[in-house]
Amino acid sequence: MAAANPAGTVFAAAATVASSAALLSYVLMSNHRSKFLWKRSPTNPRRNRRRSGLVAAVGDTPLIRINSLSDATGCEILGKAEFLNPGGSVKDRVAVKIIEEALDSGELVQGGVVTEGSAGSTAISLATVAPAFGCKCHVVIPDDVAIEKSQILEALGATVERVRPVSITHRDHYVNVARRRALEATKLAAIQREASKIEGNSLVHINGHTPQQEACHPISSTDCKGGFFADQFENLANFRAHYEWTGPEIWEQTRGNLHAFVAAAGTGGTVAGISRFLKEKNPNIKCFLIDPPGSGLFNKVTRGVMYTREEAEGRRLKNPFDTITEGIGINRLTKNFLMAELDGAYRGTDGEAVEMSRFLLKNDGLFVGSSSAMNCVGAVRLARSLGPGHTIVTILCDSGMRHLSKFHNAQYLADRGLTPYATGLEFLDHP
């Protein structure tokens, strides 16, 4: 048994206190008179006839008024509380949509292995919902993500493979490894089917020899039904999850009375699906990106140029991202992001995200992760740009529970000069 970790005990205690604060805030804010507070979208009968059990619990998340930010800006700043999904994040929607479409198309069968390369949230969502579809999950993650994410994945029953962070052009980038694992699982299933014809379900002595697998092969089930690579970056089921699902919920919850939407992008599915749906409903709704350090999307949206030739992924020797935020920011254009309809973009910093997360916890009881905090930075920037009287929607992607070892770790932040100091929103006062 591993030795007790004092730091882990402190993190757990902090999480318990923060969770209690968030619950208390939920109860207290339910009495607020805002017409948007905790409003749920009408039930979708067609979807609920198809989905049942855990899967049916995904979506229909409340849209809450973020009181502190709304009062400070004179705008109605509303957060879609995606951290209340069963798997704890906005990526639950993507996981459900990807698996559903794969099962419908026959690319995935029950008992098959869903593989994905993910920095955390999508992996956790896939590991959460895959068993509900009768599938298994294999996840490849960078070895520098918050340790609690891999611990959650293992607790959920997923097979977790950690790899070093490298460029997407490298064969051992976590996305490329995940793609390879799906192919290996499919080949393994074919070998097992052939073996069953010869010697029952045995996997030995096909044509006089034993099939060889990759050393320490992580997908080695004796009853493999094949693999399917979720491919959240390029699979447009990601975009469709938000175009057909999240966007309509926001429209219904606000009764169409919103002026703007803002969010960060990783795969680009969330900002693309929601922005395109809202623009189709009302072209006057402004949609903006908030981009973290190291990402090239701000330049693409504002200047039409993603990066210089020297900055392109594949030409850098080290991980190109210089940020503590996880799951957002990228230096390539994905198929999902290309579907976005954006009016502009803002930049955010790590320091602003950290300060915002503490501000929301202190003033609203909202214990959020790094991407949620960055989204709220974007919401305030947008509110100040538009002026009072506007309604702005953003996404509260996940809670701070899976960010304890980094984003919500005082020592980790201090080592990087990111110890929060602000008493209000003065950290956003610079241009």
Q: Output the six-digit token pair for 300.
A: 């693409």
- Residue-level pLDDT at 205: 41
Is 263 within a domain?
yes
pLDDT of residue 221: 60
Q: Check if the beta carbon of residue 76 is closer than 8 Å to that of residue 63.
A: no
Identify the pLDDT of residue 50: 75
The reply to whether 273 and 415 lie within a common domain is yes
CATH number, domain of 367, equals 3.40.50.1100
My answer on whether 410 and 285 are in the same domain is yes
Residue 285 class from Cβ within 10 Å (0-12 exposed, 13-18 middle, 19+ buried)? Answer: buried
Q: How confident is the model at residue 419, as a pLDDT?
A: 97
Give first-to-last CA distance, the chain, whole Å: 52
**Confidence band for 37, pLDDT divided at 50, 70 and 90:** very low
One domain, residues 183 and 271: no
The pLDDT tens digits for 43-82 are 443 344 479 999 999 999 999 999 999 999 999 999 999 9
Question: Of the candidates 391, 356, 396, which has an alpha carbon nearest to the alpha carbon of residue 372?
Answer: 396
Most confident option among 114-123, 157-166, 258-267:
258-267
Residue 178: which domain range?
A: 90-195+219-229
- Same domain, yes or no: 245 and 134: no
Angle, vertex CA 175, rays to CA 171 and CA 176, nearest 5: 30
Closest-CA residue to 68 (of 401, 368, 403): 368
- Are 292 and 361 in a shared domain? yes
pTM score of the predicted model = 0.82
Measured distance CA(56)–CA(43) in Å, rounded = 11
Residue with tokens 């809670």: 399
pLDDT band at 431 (very low <50, low <70, confident <90, very high): low
Answer for the pair 124, 88: CB distance below 8 angstroms, yes or no. yes
Q: Among 241, 246, 263, which residue's Cα sits nearest to residue 77? A: 263
Instruction: Select from 186, 206, 229 the last residue of a domain.
Output: 229
- Does 162 map to a domain? yes
Q: Which of 229, 249, 279 is the last residue of a domain?
A: 229
Encoded tokens for 161: 């493979």
Asked if residue 224 and residue 272 are part of one domain, the reply reads no
Q: Are residues 310 and 244 in the same domain?
A: yes
Q: Are residues 148 and 276 in the same domain?
A: no
Region 119-124: mean pLDDT is 86
Can you tell me the mean pLDDT for 90-112?
96
Helices (H), 264-422: 269-281, 297-303, 350-364, 370-386, 410-415
Which residues on adjacent β-strands are paired with residue 393? Answer: 78, 261
The predicted structure's pLDDT at residue 101: 97
* Same domain, residue pair 265 and 180: no
- Residue 346 scores a pLDDT above 70: yes
Each residue's pLDDT tens digit, 281-296 = 999 999 999 999 999 9
| Total of domains in the chain | 2
pLDDT at 175 over 80: yes
Q: Which of 91, 73, 131, 155 is nearest to 399 (CA)?
A: 91
Name the band, by pLDDT with cuts 50, 70 and 90, for residue 326.
confident
Residues 68 and 125 in one domain: no
pLDDT bin (cut points 50, 70, 90) of residue 34 is: very low
Q: What integer best gives the mean pLDDT of the chain?
A: 84
Residues 405 and 276 in one domain: yes
If asked whether residues 141 and 266 sit together in one domain, one would say no
Q: How far apart are CA 306 and CA 309, in angstroms?
A: 9
Average pLDDT over residues 112-127: 91
Of residues 212, 192, 205, 55, the one with CA closest to residue 112: 192
pLDDT tens, position by position, 353-367 = 999 999 999 999 999
179 residue type, one letter: R
DSSP secondary structure of 272-299:
HHHHHHHHHH-TTSEEEEEE-TT-SHHH
Could you tell me if residue 427 is inside a domain? no
